[in-house]
Amino acid sequence: MIDKHVSVYIDADNVSASVTDKALELLTSVGAIKRISAYGNFSARPKNWRDVCSRWNISMSHHYNVARSKNASDISLVVDATANMYRGWGTDYLAVISSDADFIPLVLHAKAQGTKVIGIGLKKAPQAYKDACDIWVTIEDLVNTSLTNLIEAA
């Protein structure tokens, strides 16, 4: 299945570096990872993320929390993913690693453009978000999941 291309967008304010590492290992079974971007405030946890970002060549987009809400990172993630869609990104799968239902419009937009969406997040993520994705993998089950089987079933 390596002829497929995957673009990965990570809500680093919502998931840990170790979970991201496991998720990326799993996503390599889908196809070639074309781009990986992580968005968040990395100042509080630089070492963990630096290691994972170095290993996977992740582009980090750092956003300080200038307000109580952490929407700056989420908005940047959506803007970048949408811009890449319109650049002719050549991606078969969009993977969003987050449990945040704020990404439902991005998921629906990607699907409308013909891109399959893989969501990876916590079991407690809103059902509407899980349902919007073509494939949903819970972080709690990450180690025991075979994406190849899920993709063939989707």
How many domains does the chain fold into?
A: 1
Identity of the amino acid at 128: A
Report how far residue 87's alpha carbon sits from residue 100's, in angstroms, rounded to the nearest whole number. Answer: 25
- Domain harbouring 42, CATH code: 3.40.50.1010
> Per residue of the chain (154 residues), what is the pLDDT tens digit?
468 999 999 999 889 998 999 999 999 989 999 999 999 988 877 688 889 999 999 999 887 776 666 688 899 999 999 998 888 778 899 999 999 999 999 999 999 999 999 999 999 999 999 999 999 999 888 766 666 555 555 5
This prediction has a pTM of 0.89
Judge contact between 17 and 40, C-beta under 8 A. Answer: no
Cβ atoms within 10 Å, residue 46: 13
Domain housing 11: 5-153
Report how far residue 4's alpha carbon sits from residue 30's, in angstroms, rounded to the nearest whole number. Answer: 7
Task: List the beta strands (DSSP E) in the chain.
Answer: 5-11, 32-40, 59-62, 93-97, 116-121, 135-138
